[in-house]
A and B are shown apart, each in its own frame.
Chain A
Amino acid sequence: MPQLFYILFGAAFTLLVSYCLGRLLFWRLRLEFFREEEPLFAFLSGASLLHFIVFLCCAAQVAKKAVFLAIGWLIVLTAWRRGALRLAATRRFDPLPRAWRLLFFAVFAAYAFLYLANAMAPEMSPDGSSYHLGFVAKYLRERGFSRITTNMYANLTQGVEMLFAFAFAFGRHSSAALVHCAFLLMLPFLMLNHARRFGFPVAGLGGGLLALCAPVIGVDGTTAYIDVAVACVVFATFALLQIWSVSREPKLLVLVGLLAGFCFAAKYTAALAIPYVGVYVLWKSKALRTLLPVAASVLLMVVPWTAKNWILVGNPLSPFANQFFPNPNVTLAFEREYIAMMRNWGQLKSKSEIPLELTVKGGRLGGLFGPVFVLLPLGLLALRRREGRQLWLAAAVFAAPYYNNLGTRFLIPAAPFLALTLALGVQASRGILPFLVLLHATISWPHVLRKYCSPYAWRLERIPVAAALRITKEEKFLAERFPSYVIARMIEDSVPAGEQVFSFSGAADAYMSRELRVAYMSASNSLLGEFIWSALFPDLAPSLRLHFEFPLQGLRRLRLVQTAGGTDQWSIGEWRVRRGERELPRGADWRIRANVNPWYVQYAIDNNPVSRWRTGEPIRPGMWMELDLGAVRTVDNVLLEVVDDQGQVRLRLEGQADTGPWKVLSQQPKFFKGSQMKGLRRAAMQELRAAGIRYYLVAPGDPGADDFRVNSKLWGIKLLAERAGTRLYYIEETPQ
């Protein structure tokens, strides 16, 4: 069978099974909608259920094509036999104005062609080809979830990815992208239906097209990203809630809860749908018990993901909330740095650059909505209507996460609401809305867009029909256009199965089966990255010595207590206990522990000065590290080898005899600089090998990239392969 068939089957089967699940739910709940609404709501609620089923398959380690096929057909047959596939709705919306209908379908058809061609083409989006589909491919290879502690993205909720997995099992990457594209193509109809129900169909037509043609929505929705699917589910939640606010049909709240919960399951930032729904329902009903059906269905969607994270990585909300759920996988310092970095995305000189970046340029914030959105303030005119106020409220709620991430796509969940408010605001002025829609559709088309937006803006650039139809071979298309793919294939060709590769840069994980451990993606990776930096950069070498001296005495335990507060992190390369100049050999009966980041304390007593334990969070008084010497030993000084990057740290040394109270041995150490150490490069690589990593990938832009080429002998590494300037090394074994 040709590849194209599998791609289309994978996507179509996923959509069909989702639809059938939704229809079965409607049949069970006996819900009634307008005829135009029913298929869309059925698909979206069915998608939330299908995600749950795939989750269970992954949890039960049975996630594979045959199982999906069996489950899928069972659902389709059940829906057919129960008669659930027949549309129950008899009511239809009033017909749309003829001219608007023509405009809508003309623009829709053109953009549907553009989007389908891109979605069917080989997947080469940065996040889609790395973690969104990387994990999907991994789950399918391994039949389900596994404990992944070396990549924080594995702990994000993956509701949409579960749908991708269902499609990927049959048609791989492009099937998944097509599923996302289906959400994109549904979005304008969802918006239109809402507008028709509440009496502003023309604004619904215009708003739907404004959202559909927005360049960032187009590029996101045609790849294996998830933002447009999230926007679709968020909008459906809103639309159903509005329907409930009029009908007060209690069974609708089951659906509302399901979709609000699916928002969380799809993306953490969309979890705002849950309090939004909760407060709205409570406000309207004034009765706590009305929340029960909402809560029950929300929990059905939320509990699996939080439970998975709690069980596998010790933090239900990983990679966030590490302050409340300390764990060895993500440090608090990293979480704060990550949030701060996202908050300052694009390195804008001033926040006043944001509007122009979001609408016209798009180069620094990763995409644009189109110049027409400059007119968004006109949408404030929509506040005159109840529907407009509701839209603005929802827009404000779902745009709130943008404060924490300035990337354009973080506004996609709010974009449908904003597009509708703009359309609603100008619809009264004759001719303005159709003009804006036509203008927007014209200047958002890739060939026009490139004439004014930033060349670095994330956008669709072509209509790759030959690649979509696989007339151009997938391999050739990717090799010519996607360096990340070339690097992934280099790794796949050169690294044996089951091996791990360390790197400071990512690659297209979805196109390889070897595990790439990227430095910033987990606490353990980050430490290994720091060890390499320690060897690379003299400023980060463990060159500072802290010497605590005290009267000779018998001690069983020693404790270093940090007494200052500040922004630095406290770290220790080596903790040596001595009598005179002689270091006590570390016995098997010794024990070490710390009251912060306790999982990595062994790095402080491994006789490798490059490896170091660190607090993983800014210093505060009361942090301590304790060494139990196994028995009372006679000692008179302690030497710490540390990196000179912790000027705020203040240490006190305490000791304890076998029993009895702790006493202060030294209020502060003497400081001196050690001589420049040789052998650090090989010591760093030794730590990678000790962590089970025997391959190291160096991209041209990585820190000290050239040093690995020039000093490969000192690092103890051997060049295996090189593609597009990126080099793959084998880490040679060093005798212990």
Chain B
Amino acid sequence: MPLNWGRAQGADCQQSTAGLGQGAANVAGLSNQAGQSWRGPWTFVALALSAGLLSQCKPVPQSYPPPLQRNFNPDAEPPAVGEAISMMSPEADNYILSGTITNEPGVKWRWCAPRLEMRFQLASTRGLTYFMDFVLNENTFAQTGPVKFRFLIDGKSLGEVLYDTPGEKHFETPVPPELLRTDRPVVVTTEVDKYLVSQSDQAKLAFLLISAGFKP
């Protein structure tokens, strides 16, 4: 559909060609004014002539005024993510790059795979701690035993912790400023060494994430 932002002008030639066509039709007797029509070969000659002339004609293209100007302001772009997120938040999807198995909006926790990647946009790099609230499910723990968690920021190690009991856990550690940046989101990777493979759908179930992020 053409943009309907303004009235077009032009198409001058279309009018003139219509006139030409009419003229040719009159010559050929197509107008049937005197009851004489289709005068044999003259009809075809006239039609061919008019078709030839029409095919030479290039209509003047339509012209348009400027449309409603868009308010394009790249600096006004809001950050895609903030410094921390709870899985209950409707914006949780924006933070998770990969590694969640269930994605039900509004649910307190999400099942995670052995490798989880999340991103956070920081306003500053100094004096921050990274935290993660999660659950080691009793059923999976019964199969896996103690699980070692490894945390990385933009691929660089932040620390490792071994959890030898199931239940709700809270991880928190200060983050050296040199691991952080503010010009683009940092990617925090969580890796675990043991997980359960679901019998029903072969999903790799590691832990249940509740919330994560940076805080002063």
Contacts and interface: CB of A to CB of B under 8 A. Distances in A.
Size range of the chain B interface in the assembly: 35 or more
A591 B65 CA distance: 4
B61 A595 contact: yes
B1 A683 contact: no
A712 B66 contact: no
A607 B93 contact: no
A247 interface: no
Nearest to B55: A324
A606 B96 contact: no
B63 interface: yes
The listed residue with most B CB atoms (<10 A of its CB), out of A590, A592, A710, is: A710
B202 interface: no
Given A679-B73, A682-B77, A735-B71, A149 B1 contact: yes
A690 B9 CA distance: 22
A286 interface: no
Contacts of B64: 591-593, 601-602
B166 to A, nearest CB: 30
Given A594-B61, A710-B94, A713-B91, A606 B80 contact: no
Contact of A602 (B66, B76, B77): B66
A467 interface: no
A686 interface: yes
Contact of B66 (A522, A586, A713): A586
B69 A586 contact: yes
B19 interface: no
A401 interface: no
Contact of B70 (A591, A598, A600, A608): A608
A609 interface: yes
Contacts of A600: 2-3
Contacts of A589: 65
A593 B65 contact: no
A21 to B, nearest CB: 32
Contacts of A522: 1
B2 A599 contact: yes
Contacts of A611: 70
Contact of A606 (B69, B77, B93, B97): B69
B78 interface: yes
A607 B2 contact: no
A2 interface: no
Contact of B78 (A587, A598, A599, A714): A714
Interface string A628-661: 1000000000000000000000000000000000
A328 B77 contact: no
Nearest to B104: A722
Given A586-B66, A587-B66, A713 B61 contact: no
Contact of A678 (B58, B70, B77, B91): B77
Given A599-B2, A602-B3, A736-B71, A628 B80 contact: no
A592 B9 CA distance: 10
Nearest to B95: A710
B75 interface: yes
A686 B62 CA distance: 25
A603 B2 CA distance: 10
A65 interface: no
Contacts of A590: 65-66
Interface in B18-36: none
Given A602-B5, A682-B77, A683-B72, A709 B67 contact: no
Given A600-B2, A710-B94, A713-B91, A606 B70 contact: yes
A524 interface: yes
Contacts of B76: 679
A605 B69 CA distance: 8
Given A591-B9, A599-B3, A710-B94, A679 B63 contact: no
Contacts of A591: 9, 63-65
A479 interface: no
A600 B62 CA distance: 11
B155 interface: no
Given A608-B72, A679-B77, A735-B71, A628 B93 contact: no
Interface in A714-736: 714, 719, 734-736
Contacts of A70: none
A587 B65 CA distance: 8
Nearest to A735: B71
B11 to A, nearest CB: 10
Contacts of B80: 710-711, 713-714
B105 interface: yes
A600 B5 CA distance: 11
Nearest to B91: A713
Interface string B88-111: 001101101100000001000000
A734 to B, nearest CB: 7
A608 B72 CA distance: 6
Contacts of B105: 719
A588 B67 CA distance: 9
A594 B10 CA distance: 11
Contacts of B93: 709-710, 712, 719
Contact of A679 (B58, B65, B68, B74): B74
A677 B58 CA distance: 40
A513 interface: no
B176 interface: no
Contacts of A599: 2-3, 62
A150 interface: yes
A189 B68 CA distance: 63
A588 B69 CA distance: 11
A626 B74 CA distance: 28
A61 B66 CA distance: 36
A713 B93 CA distance: 10
B6 interface: yes
Contacts of B9: 591
A121 B181 CA distance: 60
Nearest to B105: A719
A592 B96 CA distance: 45
Given A592-B64, A602-B64, A686-B70, A714 B3 contact: no
The listed residue with most A CB atoms (<10 A of its CB), out of B5, B72, B93, B97, is: B72
A150 B1 contact: yes
Nearest to A687: B70
A630 B153 CA distance: 56
Contacts of B6: 602
Given A328-B1, A712-B94, A713-B91, A598 B69 contact: no
Given A588-B66, A593-B61, A679 B2 contact: no
B3 to A, nearest CB: 5
A681 to B, nearest CB: 8
A606 B67 contact: yes
A734 B2 CA distance: 23
B96 A710 contact: yes
A343 to B, nearest CB: 29
Nearest to B10: A593
A679 B72 contact: yes
B69 to A, nearest CB: 4
Contacts of B72: 607-609, 679, 683
Interface string A295-336: 000000000000000000000000000000000110000000
Nearest to B96: A710
Given A328-B1, A602-B5, A711-B80, A677 B67 contact: no
A678 B66 contact: no
A714 B63 contact: no
A587 B97 CA distance: 45
Given A586-B69, A605-B67, A679-B73, 4 more contacts: A591-B63, A595-B61, A628-B63, A712-B91
7 contacts: A328-B1, A591-B9, A592-B63, A592-B66, A602-B64, A683-B70, A736-B71
Interface of B: 1-3, 5-6, 9-10, 58, 61-81, 90-91, 93-94, 96-97, 105
Nearest first, the 9 closest Cβ-Cβ pairs linking A and B are: A599-B2, A593-B63, A679-B74, A608-B70, A598-B61, A586-B66, A678-B74, A591-B63, A679-B77
